[in-house]
Amino acid sequence: MRQVFVHQAELDVALGGDHRAPGGAVTMALCGQWEHDGSCRWPHHTVVEHSPEGALTVRTLFACDAAEEQPVREQILSAFRTGRLEGPLGLTTWTLVREAASTIAADERLIATRLVRNGLE
């Protein structure tokens, strides 16, 4: 049965970088490309928040079976560790400052429900 898990990272993005790039890197890691037909094998949703210090907090919610949690989490972490993505606005680079598993926040519960539902379609 699918469950929703959360992985959170703090990243320092290079000046002028696209703040959406880390989320794009996660999508590339989990889906192989930004756009594809059909539902995702591991439905996910990435939220990026700017901190007052200029770093980004990136939270990725993902749905998978409990047995797949660690391999999926490793793919997400690998995307963050790669530290670069060539996207529509050019090359964006970043440095991973810290990362850890997290829990679903109250304001993320609807997203979590949608992710589980999308994985069943």
66 vs 5: CA distance, rounded Å: 9
**Domains of the chain, earliest start first:** 2-102+112-118 (3.30.70)
**Residue 55: per-residue pLDDT:** 87
Give me the phi and psi of 51, to 5 degrees please.
-95, 160
Condensed to tens digits (0 to 9), the pLDDT of residues 32-82 reads: 887 766 678 899 999 999 876 778 999 999 999 999 999 999 999 999 999
Nearest to 25 by CA among 71, 64, 83, 72: 83
Q: Whole-prediction pTM value? A: 0.90
Nearest to 104 by CA among 31, 7, 28: 7
Give me the phi and psi of 19, to 5 degrees please.
-65, -15
**Residue 40: per-residue pLDDT:** 80
